[in-house]
Structure 1
Amino acid sequence: MLTIVLNGCAIWQATTMPKQLQDRQIIVTLSEDKRSSWLAIDSELKQRYALQVVGEFPLTSIQVNCLVYRVPDNQSVSDVIAHLKTDQRIQLVQQNQVFAGLRSQAGDAYAALSYAPKMLGVDDAHQVSTGKGVSITVIDTGADKNHPDLKGQVEVTRNFVEGGEASFSQDKHGTAVLGVISARADDGVGIYGVAPDASIAIYKACWYEDANSRALCSSWTLAKALDAAINASSRVINLSLNGPADELLKQLITTAYQRNSVIVAAANEHSDQPGFPASMDKVIPVLAAGPDGHVAKPVWPSTLKLFAAPGIEILTTAPRDGYDFVSGSSLATAHVSGVAALMLQFKPELTPEQLRSALVSRKMVEKSELASVNACAALKRFGCSSRLSLNSTTVVHFFI
């Protein structure tokens, strides 16, 4: 059940999970070159496996049509998937998986309370770049775009969750991420974002089951949001979320990368794997660092080139005109997305791989693949103004 509370009173409730997050669902993709057979294939699959159609949507960026079925309770989901994988007419079949946001509960009025801008060298970087004109798509929950520090900062909002519009402006996770990236600067209100002049789109693909739960997304909702971001030619895609390996999302992220999008994703240091999509080599995977530069050592052996940015006790925006201290690699991811926008304003021709390489300011631990992120240092690599100072660079290291 989802409950929206205003001034201590429940103002909206939903007792059913959105259809995109319900269980026992599989996604079947059919390629464009088989369009003439789509209806016949659908009819045959429903009859042979007693499948119930619960959704259908195109992903034009990768030229497929997606059919979402519910597998009956008396059948094994894995067995049905195994059978469908032998059908040569089907491009891909997988379970509709669940992903979660990585947030733990924990000249602007509150700017002095935030260590992140200094740690990232943002104050100096803003002398030459504020992310102006760089498109960032935040794929997350909804967000309070009318918050005093966010009003006028969001150019596009879209909802990909059934019934998600009702709670869009009350969603905590997206509001927190948005504040880190794009809170207005020098307006005398609250905080300021890393890239306050970026062109922001927020796509709601995640949903709260109840007031105390994590934000949840699915393969279905994320695929539609990624497809929209690719078709909009977004330069930066922020994925402050994490979950199981997903072949459909992998195809979309690879396509986004090939079309020059920088994809930034949260890594999960508290799991036995970094999680997906952080594990992809096309993605910039980010861990959370604290104000003292410490990063929790992942429990998984690292074969990734990991990045660290402020993510512990970050002061950011909260729904209903509020502010809160929030922790998690979701916030660290948002910081890196903002830095990417600063770099792309200054040097628009950067490819995703060139930008990723330029983000590495120093190794943080001998023999580690963990690299700190500093906006000032990254911009100076491209011959940026000598006015920029590197005095704010913070050494980040594993906390063991």
Structure 2
Amino acid sequence: MNFELNEEQREFQHIVHDFVAKELKPMARETDETGEFNWTAVKKMGPVGLLGLEVPEEYGGAAVDAVSAAIAIEELGWGCGSTALAISAHNGLALGPIVKYGNDTQKAQWLPPLATGKGKLGCLSLTEPGAGSDLQGGVQTTAVKEGDSWIIDGTKMWMTNASISDVMVVLCRTDRADGSRSLSHIIVPTETPGINVGPAEKKMGLKGSPTHAVTFDEVRVPLENLLGEEGWGLQQTLATLDSGRVGIGALAVGLGQAAYETAVQYAHERETFGKPIAHHQAVQWMLADAATELQAARLMVYWAASLKGAGKKYTKEAAMAKLFATEVSERVCRNAIQIHGGYGYSSEFEVERMYRDTRLMTIGEGTSEIQRLVIARHILNL
């Protein structure tokens, strides 16, 4: 398959790159140090199409193809990991399910403000204190029918965008039976009474992307807020995570690319033993490996995205791309610190932040271990 970008994709990449270079990258350090979400830049993303990447134009979205969407997240990651994660989650995890499973009324209500920047962001609510990788058996948040409403009770964790969102797509147990048809997605406006968003988690990296525990105490929403079919929440979640893994892979490539570029520049500037360290073979090999692995990771991400865009099965390919890209990014960021020597361990240099930011990528939206399980089950037909 040919992965050469077409003219439209290259032009979109150019537009996004210029936007990120101007609005995100110069603020990345401040975003990390203050832990404040970069609303100034995000409010400018609507006209660029970054807040509704794959949302149909009739709902205010950019309606770009899946590869272009991956390109956008990669460029965002190159500029600021924190902002990139929030926008990736908004597009892939919140808007994605509404676009794919929502009815016309739900799409008309939620997509336009979320895609154009006239509202806040969206988020997906899956993980719980006892339910990370094991969603089918671990989800304890319940949604019970009462009259014309769902009554939701439970606790969620690690909700990206919870405090900066207008709407949550919440995975709930709608059937007490512990089966594959026991879970459902329900659209919950964030301002609904009974929702308590806890303090932002204190994290190793990605500090400008707010993450929270959220409790639901008799939260009442209309029955028509059911997203998709009742009992199909697990299947919808798995499909959503396939798409999200392409996004995380792209974000990781962007972070790795930024670290690699910074290391190349430093290798030309820093001198030891009377010459720039770029002339030392040990440094050259680390940079050569970084360039090679990043290109391979990028192609794997584009490959998975192209399958998604073509409507083909891509669960295995998404897992492969996410696994490889995130582990490559961590390795590249680690070696970028090594090339910087002692300076790389200082927060005065960008590679320290990039390393902390990319550390989540092998954990979020399915750990590397889960990706290997997914891949193994597909190649072994288990």
Q: Same fold (TM over 0.5)?
A: no
Structure with the bigger percentage of strand: 1
Give me the TM-score of the superposition, normalised by structure 2. Answer: 0.23
Give me the TM-score of the superposition, normalised by structure 1. Answer: 0.23
